[in-house]
Structure 1
Amino acid sequence: MHTASAGNANDNRTALGIACGMGAGALWGLVFLAPELVRDFTPLQLAIGRYLAYGVIAATLIAPRWRGLAASISRRDWIALAWLSLAGNTLYYVLLSTAVQTGGIAMTSLVIGFLPVAVTIIGSRDHGAVPLAKLVPSLLLCAAGAMCIGWQAITAPASGDAGRQLVGLACAIGALMAWTAYAVGNARCLTRLDQVSIHDWNLLTGLVTGAQALFLIPVSLAFEPIRHAGIAWAQFAGVSVAVAVAASIMGNALWNRMSRLLPLTMVGQMILFETLFALLYGFLWEQRLPLPLEVAAFVLVVASVLSCIAAHRRHPRDAAPSQSVTGEQLA
């Protein structure tokens, strides 16, 4: 009876974690559209606008309980927040925006689509993780889906010259590396920090990222002169606030909750939802239906996630992915 109850509890954790992962992916996919909506602004300006808004919102929400929360954060935690904010927010978004503006949404989605492979391979070394051998079918399906998207991007008529495409590819690979480091580091921090709620960790991340954005303003002013009209700045502000609320506040909160519910090997697979939604939004933006290779990519990616879920259901977890998580910690 106890075994059956434990099994149901694990199933419920997994289902809730997957739902949170899907929600985060749907919100994060909007990030791929932002550079297209305000193409007149540089990637650095986009990052500053988004993360200044994120920081202001986070500071407002965290102010009432700042004193008690700050006392529970150690020097080690602040250092972790600093590098996680840089890798997963500031650096990632600058590289992603550059990749979208120079290489296009499809190519960028392809490279980011390999995030599950990188994170899953790293997570397979964690204690109690599903052995990598059992995840091979899922990883192969993921890689096949990403290759379908890549082949479509390569064979489609290029919108720019080869040099721009290479710059876009290099930035997308850089974004892949930055976000892989963030996904792994953030999941492990959430496992360690039982005294900090997911909501507060997200707000603290916003606070640190907002501070980093402030330091980038002089850099932007020095190399990127202000030359936009008032209406363009209004549109830029609207997009920045919308992305900050949807992706940084709501999307990060869902992702952090998922990170405490699922093992790291499964966390990696959830990143695929961002790729899927980014492609969907790209099709809507371009006002077209997906091509055969793109449909195949959708099918393969979904099959990859389902295969990963099946592998975790068959693998008895000796240890929960993040110890015991109370309702307060998930708030």
Structure 2
Amino acid sequence: MWGLVFLAPELVRGFGPLHLATGRYLCYGLLSLVLLAPRWRKVVPRLTRQQWVGIISLALIGNLLYYVLLSAAVQWGGIAMTSLVIGFLPVWVTIIGSRDRHAVPLRALTPSLVCCALGAFCIGWQVLAMPAPGVSLRHVAGLGCAVGALLAWTWFAVANSRWLARVQHVGVHDWNLLMGIVTGAMVVPLIPVAIVLDATPHTAADWWQFAAVVATLALLASIVGNGLWNRMSRLLPLTLAGQMILFETLFALLYGFLWEQRWPTGTELAAFAFLCLGVVSCVAAHQRHGRHR
């Protein structure tokens, strides 16, 4: 489901990153408010001020900032380049997670990390080795946005996992809905800004397509996808959960191939193999570690 966030900017290229983020998270906030309303009095009073600060920080960096940067990276640099950069996310999350108490040592995860790095390298090989003629500042800016998105979501993945371990009295679904409500509130002041900055004329059909895309992202990527991610983060150690982000990259590429109406190249197939091998290797390392504890 998260792979859709890479395709969405291509589906509505007439709308900028700020429009996409504002539309998606406004829908996310409204859906979250409706879904949490029946349990509002039970969930909200139990949250401390510190926990609200945590939710606000996660919403700002992991939702709003991340998706503005990701959308800009896709529109300015392309899906392949953006997937390459985000493909390194599991490496950083796994390295950070290996420092946790009782975590699988980094040495045991080396084969998995090597496979991840090779897979991520293969994903963008054609883009980096044979760039299109006339690489512009726009492409450089896209690369910068992709790196920024990588940093933002690395922080989010680690911080969110830490918070979920602390707030055992809050369900993973409710935690996601609370974050959705906060993110939705954050984008309300951005609506007039997005309108003022929009210099491109849009037809009614354009607006309907935009509404369909952001509503789909809100439901599938934010409500369902984030909820499943939270559930997994509470069940798995960070070193293993980080590897699961690889599937976002894989599906982002798959959707990209379908959009471009082509088959993957040999290099791209190699990337699939390396990334899948990395996940299998990581799971095996955790099984061995569990038997030896």
Give the TM-score of the pair, scaled to structure 1. 0.86
8 Å contact kept, 1:129–1:317 = no
Which stretch shows the higher mean deviation, 254-263 or 226-235? 226-235
8 Å contact kept, 1:43–1:95 = yes
Cross-structure match for 2:99: 125
CA offsets 1:2-31 (integer angstroms, 9 cap, x no match): xxxxxxxxxxxxxxxxxxxxxxxxx00011
CA distance in 2, matches of 1:120, 1:193: 22
RMSD of Structure 2 on Structure 1 (CA): 1.5
User: 1:73 and 1:226, CA in 2 relative to 1: closer, same or farther beyond 3 A?
Assistant: farther
Cross-structure match for 1:274: 248
Structure-to-structure mapping, 1:72-83, within 5 angstroms = 72-83=46-57
SS at match of 1:130: coil
CA offsets 1:99-143 (integer angstroms, 9 cap, x no match): 000110000000000000110111111111000111111101100
CA offsets 1:30-54 (integer angstroms, 9 cap, x no match): 1111000000000000000000000
Structure-to-structure mapping, 1:309-320, within 5 angstroms = 309-316=283-290
Unaligned ranges ≥5, structure 1:
1-26, 320-331
CA offsets 1:29-81 (integer angstroms, 9 cap, x no match): 01111000000000000000000000000001111111121111111111111
Cross-structure match for 1:53: 27
8 Å contact kept, 2:63–2:183 = yes
Give the alignment partner of residue 259 of structure 2, picking from 280, 285, 304. Answer: 285
Aligned-pair distance for 1:286?
Answer: 0.5
SS at match of 2:47: coil
Which stretch shows the higher mean deviation, 166-175 or 148-157? 148-157
SS at match of 2:142: helix
1:302 matches 2:260: no
Task: Figure out how many residues of one structure are paired with residues of the other and give that number.
Answer: 293
Aligned-pair distance for 1:221?
Answer: 3.0
1:116 matches 2:90: yes
Cross-structure match for 2:215: 241
CA distance in 2, matches of 1:280, 1:72: 42
Cross-structure match for 2:148: 174
Structure-to-structure mapping, 1:1-331, within 5 angstroms = 27-158=1-132, 161-225=135-199, 227-316=201-290
CA offsets 1:253-292 (integer angstroms, 9 cap, x no match): 1101100110001111110000001001101110101001
Which stretch shows the higher mean deviation, 216-225 or 300-309? 216-225
CA distance in 2, matches of 1:298, 1:65: 42
Aligned-pair distance for 1:228?
Answer: 1.7
Aligned-pair distance for 1:151?
Answer: 1.4
CA distance in 2, matches of 1:277, 1:66: 35
8 Å contact kept, 2:14–2:200 = no
CA distance in 2, matches of 1:92, 1:51: 12
CA distance in 2, matches of 1:317, 1:44: 48
SS at match of 2:101: coil
Give the TM-score of the pair, scaled to structure 2. 0.97
SS at match of 1:316: helix
8 Å contact kept, 1:283–1:289 = yes
- Letter aligned with residue 28 of structure 1: W
SS at match of 1:39: coil
CA distance in 2, matches of 1:226, 1:106: 26
CA distance in 1, matches of 2:90, 2:191: 33
Cross-structure match for 1:327: none
CA distance in 2, matches of 1:102, 1:187: 31
Aligned-pair distance for 1:163?
Answer: 1.4
Unaligned ranges ≥5, structure 2:
none
- Letter aligned with residue 219 of structure 2: V
